[in-house]
Amino acid sequence: MDHFIYKNGGLCAEDIPLERLADEVGTPFYCYSTATLERHYNVFADAFKGVDALVCFAVKANSNIAVLKTLAQQGAGADVVSSGELKRALVAGVPADRIVFSGVGKTREELADALKAGVMQINVESEPELEALNEVAQSLGVQAPVSIRINPDVDAKTHAKITTGLSENKFGIEWTRAHEVYSRGRDMAGIDLVGVAVPIGSQLTDLTPFKNAYLRMRDLVAMLRSDGHNIRRLDLGGGLGIPYDGSETPSPQAYADVIKDTVGDLNCRIMLEPGRVIAGNAGILVTRVVYVKEGATRTFVIVDAAMNDLMRPSLYEAYHAIVPVAEPSSDAEHTEVDIVGPICETGDTFGAKRPMPTLKAGDLLAVRTAGAYGAVMSGTYNTRPLVPEILIKGDEFTVVRRRQSVDDMLAMEALPDWAD
């Protein structure tokens, strides 16, 4: 469910026609709905009523500070994986004691930043990181609150590039070595072992892998407690998928029921790190048709957005629904077209063989479900400036990231003296 619907013949973001935004801001642009962000957060959080749980939005999914502020006002914490994301969360008003610092390659500087900020928890991914954190914490005269990320060797049954819980993945410590690693951590003066973390991947549309991982975590907690460890937090990560193609996916309530059934009686605080399930349907990418080209075997609709603006179709072969901003008539004839960008790679394709009504240069299209892993993953390939991000609330909008200019890009570069 989202708040991008047709009204009076045109697609609107809440109460604002997208055509108006395109005229005022230019294309392409990202557009986020406050109402959808708030609704999705509250549906997710409400599924855990009666449970000692904290929802920490995965900043990696959408790091715009206006989005983070919107969610923080609803009570969200933050899951961050860099000092940059940590600063964004703090600037957006997320209290440090509601921030979890994750990530497989934290530097000593980042570990120090986390400790100085007073984050609630650091999820440690390896023994070298545990040793480094111990040294950094002692140098600062503090104890670091730590959950060790365990790799449960569970197949998340998702795209290979976003599965994180198999033994061959780079994430976490093998579950069979947990006893040994926790024993080492207990002897470190700068470490306070508070919990266990077990994220297994992203965009999961089957609850079985979650259940398998959490049952393994349950056994692990029992073992660690028998060893004398005071395990009081369980970080379950995120990963709940969304229906990019309209297919049915598990609800937050069904996901919460799995958690309650598997680890709900362990008397631990539950940490949850959803990203996509909150932000995905809350955003769209709006683009304008530049040309319609009749090829030898296909019709190409060439738009002004490109793979540098939305990388998911090129990187993951991901599906995004694409719809015209002008509402088609119910009897409009549709033909199959390829919707492509201007970058000089065949991979710059948003959708192949998509049934669309007749399109012409100047028409607007909306790429749906683009609020997560969209703008946050964008780049400047082909010296294409970053596009604006707009946040809608009712009949009001704000440009929450301005359009970058080529001059902005060039200002970051310099010619060497010898080039004169």
Say how many C-beta atoms besides its own lie within 10 A of residue 137's C-beta.
24
Q: Identify the three-state secondary structure at position 81.
A: coil
pLDDT at residue 275, as a whole number? 95
Closest Cα to residue 132, out of 186, 191, 199?
Answer: 191
Is residue 304 within 8 Å of residue 91, measured between CB atoms?
A: no
Looking from the CA of 242 toward its CB, the CA atoms found within 13 Å total 25
Which sequence spans correspond to the domains of the chain? 4-32+280-410, 103-272
Per-residue confidence of the chain (420 residues) as pLDDT tens digits?
789 999 999 999 999 999 999 999 999 999 999 999 999 999 999 999 999 999 999 999 999 999 999 999 999 999 999 999 999 999 999 999 999 999 999 999 999 999 999 999 999 999 999 999 999 999 999 999 999 988 766 544 544 544 444 455 555 688 788 889 999 999 999 999 999 998 777 677 789 888 888 898 898 999 999 999 999 999 998 888 888 888 889 899 999 999 999 999 999 999 999 999 999 999 999 999 999 999 999 999 999 999 999 999 999 899 999 999 999 999 999 999 999 999 999 999 999 999 999 999 999 999 999 999 999 999 999 999 999 999 999 999 999 999 999 999 999 999 999 988
pLDDT of residue 160: 54
Give catalytic status of residue 344 as yes or no. yes
pLDDT of residue 248: 86
DSSP-derived 3-state class of residue 234: strand
Q: Evaluate if pTM is beyond 0.75.
A: yes
Q: Helices 178-186 and 127-140: crossing angle, nearest 10°? A: 10
CB 37 within 8 A of CB 71: yes
Q: Is 103-272 the same fold as 4-32+280-410?
A: no
Helix segments in 31-141, DSSP class H: 34-46, 65-72, 83-91, 108-117, 127-140
Q: Identify whether the C-beta of residue 364 lies closer than 8 Å to the C-beta of residue 19.
A: yes
Q: Selecting from 2.40.37.10, 3.40.50.970, 3.40.50.800, 3.20.20.210, what CATH number does the domain 4-32+280-410 have? A: 2.40.37.10
| Dist CA 231 CA 121 (whole Å) | 13
Give the closest residue to 374 by CA, choosing from 281, 243, 238, 304. Answer: 281
Which pLDDT belongs to residue 11?
Answer: 98
What are the two backbone dihedrals, phi and then psi, of residue 39, each rounded to the nearest 5 degrees? Answer: -65, -50
- The CA distance from 150 to 216, in Å, is 10
Which fold, 103-272? TIM Barrel (3.20.20)
CA atoms within 13 A on the CB side of 373: 19
